[in-house]
Amino acid sequence: MRIILLCQVASFAFLAGCSGSTTVAQPFTAAPQIVYMRPTASGPFPPGPNNIPWEIAVMNLDGSGRHQLTSDGKFKFLPQFSPDGSKIIYTKYLVGGYGSPNAQTDIFVYILATAQERAAAA
C-alpha cells in the first residue's frame, strides 16, 4: 500500500512540475488528499490478471478520512487528480484485468462534487 501511495504522490508531483506553471493547483476539498487504488479482496500485489476488483479511494495526507469512491467491481488503475482537484481520471478495465491478453479498457472521469463517473470520451 505504501508503494502505491508513494508512486501516486511522485507521479502527481511530476505532473505538477510539467505544467509549465509555478502555481500548484489547489485541491477541490478543504484538506489535501491522496487518490489511490484500493483492493476489495485480499490478493497478490501488484495487481494481476486475477480479476480482483480494485476501486478508487481517497484519504487525507495523514491517512485519516479514507473513503472509497467507486464500487462497481471493475478493476481501476492509475488514478490521478485533475489540475484543479475537482475530478479524478483513471483507467477502467471493462473486460479482463491488468495483464490479461484480452483486456478492454477505457478512460473514466469521476466528478467529486456530484459523485458521478463517466467515460472520458462521452
Answer for the pair 41, 65: CB distance below 8 angstroms, yes or no. no
How high is the pLDDT of residue 63?
93
Q: What is the pLDDT of residues 20-61, one digit of tens each?
A: 433 334 444 557 899 999 888 766 565 555 667 889 999 999
How high is the pLDDT of residue 16?
47
Beta strands in 31-86, from DSSP E residues, in sequence order = 33-39, 54-60, 67-68, 76-81
Model confidence at 12: pLDDT above 80: no
pTM, to two decimals: 0.69
67 Cβ contact partners less than 8 Å away, ≥ 6 residues apart: 57, 58, 59
Answer for the pair 9, 24: CB distance below 8 angstroms, yes or no. no
Q: What is the pLDDT of residues 57-115, one digit of tens each?
A: 999 999 999 999 999 989 899 999 999 999 999 999 999 888 888 989 999 999 999 99
Rg for the chain, CA atoms, rounded: 14
CA distance 53 to 119: 18
DSSP 50: T
Answer for the pair 60, 31: CB distance below 8 angstroms, yes or no. yes
DSSP 70: -
